[in-house]
Chain A
């Protein structure tokens, strides 16, 4: 009874958060285009590597149970060096949060509201996110629990509906591995591995707050796998409905596939359902990154993170619009610059560098205790 009010996530909530987080915008923008019709194989491969990454992150956290990534930095490098690293990560998280938000705003502005300014969409979205985060991590977990069934079933139903509408052509999936493994690998490294799977780094800020930390490992892996399977399903759906060329040309292939649905002469033009899926995925994704950054600020300044929610939310809205002038820049940055200069160092290199220090330090402390 007394534990009710403590901020903790249940394992099921963690699972859902990771699931929605991974699918989030990855389901909507076209991923793995380098692999052509084998995009789904590439996603599967990336999923396996992603599970490896998740294991690594978990391993880091498990060396110091109950501490999040930033606290580990401080443990390893002392207050100043750790603080600097934390600041870098805060910037990284905020930048990615804004980028994800921009993805969604672009979708709304180019598909649904052609005349509405993108700023308006960004601000309204941020208001929702700020409201949710202000109420805390628990509320985020429970909100996603409420929306999970819809989120899940809508994705599945889109596929089934397209199939019944007779728009799917499984021939589009062939030839499997026609050009060998090369294009697949090209799609996996670094694009698919870092986005969406490498972005799990944000969960290093959340996993320590689960109620049963020891079981979190299994749940994380399961969630990554489930979301990977969902993404594969998604990719197959898009390729079979649109064909490889059309998918590559679509800015938002899932939306385009959903447009093909036409059932009973009445259930048609249901692309707004997709917008719902995306919208909720985006909210969760931005929130998770945002939460990570807030926790970092809390650690740096020793003030409760709720104080920062509103001001930093304003920054996210600002950056998400300023991040690029036009859609082309947004995409080019997202495909070329960001994986290279942001994802790879922050998701792979830095954690790999920290790992030995952490191991060394924790071994020492453990021996000392003995």
Chain B
């Protein structure tokens, strides 16, 4: 595509850059000045939050000072608030003086997360973030306390990536919980999380996680740069972030990996990748992403390596099947009859007798109806979901054949393709094959196997030209790196996999030096004589 893009690109509108925090608040008509008279601030806030039922601004006394406690009642935990702030502030003896907010915090709320809001913008920000804000009369800064979160979905098994053996917890919608799930697994002081606020309206918290002594500096710089460039109205899911940070948007292949599984995120972090957590999304992104990542399920590492290697090969071949099977059927049955053995050809022809459509139309009808079924199955309320599958199986499968609209062979082809397309462990990747399948069917319908080959070559050229954060998308295969083949098509036992993938340029390339291959004891057990 990019050949033509040079012809047709319009002049890029000059990037003025992302607006600063000040500009952003200016646009929304919010003043910056924070006054040392609390009443004034209170008035400003009340005006700003007029019509917000859950906005609370309650007078309290702290150490004899007049103060206001401001918060959004729906975003704070009532119990926490009363236990840790209100009771503490009111029960404390008066007369203990403090000079600034930090001192005050040390005296009254020693174990609570805090921030000092030195201007009005920060004050507003803190309130919106669900923090409890304390404005004390006579000070020209306020204290915001991060206290408990409102109720959240409990941690449950991830719904998109189920496994048989391995940890069954999945990310939820809250950022702190998600970070906790990763921290629990990697107790490493060098595991860092950087926080970013993004979105003009949503002000979503985005965390960039990495392990400092593994992740490559330059890569990290690149990721930070891209994250800083994001200027968007609202971030509702990590998918929004993904579209801002990919290297190339016109491609069916996902250039950013997403997962609901904390263990898989840990694995990626340990390889030297970075994870991007977005508040409000159970899907966590990792970058840079490679083609092979989409064929590695985390369960591979929990099952015996021979089995998981085999399963991995099955995955690769089912990717090819999902992509090519229908088009091969079209190509062979309309162009290359000689490729089928005689008996098979006769029986296929016998079944196609009386089918009124050409093979392409036939297969497109079936594929489309399958796509419709699939989409309906996802969107439908669970209760009626059953109906869809029954209708689908009966109408599309049986009845269409009986009515002579499609042939039996074709139903097998479509069904097998559909099943094969579900094998990929990451959903966003199987979408790519769904789309490309139609392209390749058309190509086969016009040019037979030659068309399929052309398509394959173009697809590989495209794949090869892709990069994710500067790392070639097909990395350990092309460019070929013999040392990194231990976890691509097959998986070697974990004790053999000593090096981190070098295409990520990790700071410390070695996982473990020692040879810890298991072996039977030298002496017979049980003192055999």
Contact = CB atoms under 8 A, between A and B. Distances in A.
The reply, when asked whether chain A contacts chain B directly with Cβ atoms under 8 A, is yes
Interface of A: 1-2, 4-5, 10, 12-13, 108, 112-113, 116, 121, 124-125, 128, 130-132, 134-136, 139, 141-143, 145-147, 265-266, 268-269, 272, 275-276, 279-280, 283, 306, 309-310
B2 A134 contact: yes
Interface string B421-462: 000000000000000000000000001111001100110110
Nearest to A310: B3
A135 B2 contact: yes
Given A125-B454, A136-B465, 14 more contacts: A4-B471, A10-B479, A12-B479, A112-B448, A128-B454, A134-B3, A135-B2, A135-B461, A142-B478, A143-B461, A143-B478, A146-B460, A147-B457, A276-B453
Interface string B107-128: 0000000000000000000000
B472 interface: yes
Given A113-B448, A128-B457, A272-B449, A145 B341 contact: no
B483 to A, nearest CB: 13
B55 interface: no
A2 B338 CA distance: 52
B470 interface: yes
A94 B474 CA distance: 31
A1 B505 contact: yes
A124 B451 CA distance: 9
Contact of B478 (A108, A145, A268, A309): A145
B450 A121 contact: yes
Nearest to A136: B465
Nearest to A112: B450
A108 B449 CA distance: 11
A318 B294 CA distance: 42
A313 B479 CA distance: 26
A108 to B, nearest CB: 6
24 contacts: A1-B219, A1-B505, A4-B472, A10-B479, A112-B335, A112-B336, A112-B449, A128-B458, A134-B2, A135-B465, A141-B479, A143-B457, A143-B461, A145-B479, A147-B460, A265-B341, A266-B341, A269-B339, A272-B336, A275-B449, A279-B453, A279-B457, A283-B457, A309-B3
A6 to B, nearest CB: 12
Nearest to A313: B3
B469 to A, nearest CB: 10
- Residue among B6, B458, B461, B471 facing the most chain A CB atoms (10 A cut-off): B461
Interface string B502-528: 000100000000000000000000000
B375 interface: no
Nearest to A262: B341
Contacts of A143: 457, 460-461, 464, 478
A142 B472 contact: yes
Contacts of A275: 449-450, 453
Task: Assign chain B's interface to a size class.
Answer: 20 to 34
A5 B470 contact: yes
Contacts, number: 93
Given A113-B448, A134-B2, A146-B474, A2 B461 contact: no
Contacts of A2: 218
Nearest to A120: B447
A78 B505 CA distance: 44
Contacts of B497: none
Interface in B183-202: none
B42 to A, nearest CB: 52
Contacts of B448: 112-113
B6 to A, nearest CB: 8
A145 B454 contact: no
Which applies to chain A's interface (DSSP): helix, strand, loop or mixed? helix
B216 interface: yes
A73 to B, nearest CB: 29
Contacts of A279: 450, 453, 457
Interface string B482-516: 00000000000000000000000100000000000
B346 to A, nearest CB: 14
B477 interface: yes
B464 A139 contact: yes
Contacts of B471: 4
Kindly list the 9 A-B residue pairs having the minimum CB-CB distance in the complex, ordered from nearest: A142-B478, A145-B478, A1-B218, A142-B464, A135-B465, A134-B3, A139-B465, A146-B478, A132-B461
Interface centre among B6, B448, B450, B479 (most CB of A within 10 A): B450
Contacts of B505: 1
B53 interface: no
Contacts of B463: 146
A121 B335 CA distance: 15
B338 to A, nearest CB: 5
Interface in B341-393: 341
Contacts of B454: 124-125, 128
A90 B505 CA distance: 40
A145 B454 CA distance: 17
Contacts of B461: 128, 131-132, 135, 139, 143
Name, among A125, A142, A146, A265, the residue most crowded by chain B CB atoms within 10 Å (CB to CB): A142
B456 to A, nearest CB: 9
A264 B479 CA distance: 37
Contacts of A266: 341
Contacts of B338: 269
Given A2-B218, A272-B336, A130 B479 contact: no
B8 interface: no
Contact of A108 (B3, B450, B472): B450
A281 B384 CA distance: 54
Contacts of A12: 479-480
Contacts of B449: 112, 272, 275
Contacts of A132: 461
A331 to B, nearest CB: 23
A306 B478 CA distance: 23
Nearest to B1: A131
Contacts of A268: 341
A275 B449 CA distance: 10
Greatest chain A CB density within 10 A among B216, B453, B458, B464 is at: B464
B335 to A, nearest CB: 8
Given A113-B450, A130-B3, A280 B457 contact: yes
Among A125, A130, A135, the most chain B Cβ lie within 10 Å of the Cβ of A135
A4 B450 CA distance: 34
Nearest to B458: A128
B478 A124 contact: no
Interface in B131-167: none
A128 to B, nearest CB: 6
A142 B218 contact: no
Interface in B1-16: 2-3, 6
Tell which of A10, A125, A145, A306 has the most Cβ of chain B within 10 Å.
A145
A4 to B, nearest CB: 5
Contacts of A124: 447, 450, 454
Contacts of B478: 142-143, 145-146
Contacts of B465: 135-136, 139
Contacts of B341: 265-266, 268
A124 B218 CA distance: 40
A176 B463 CA distance: 48
Contacts of A272: 336, 339, 449
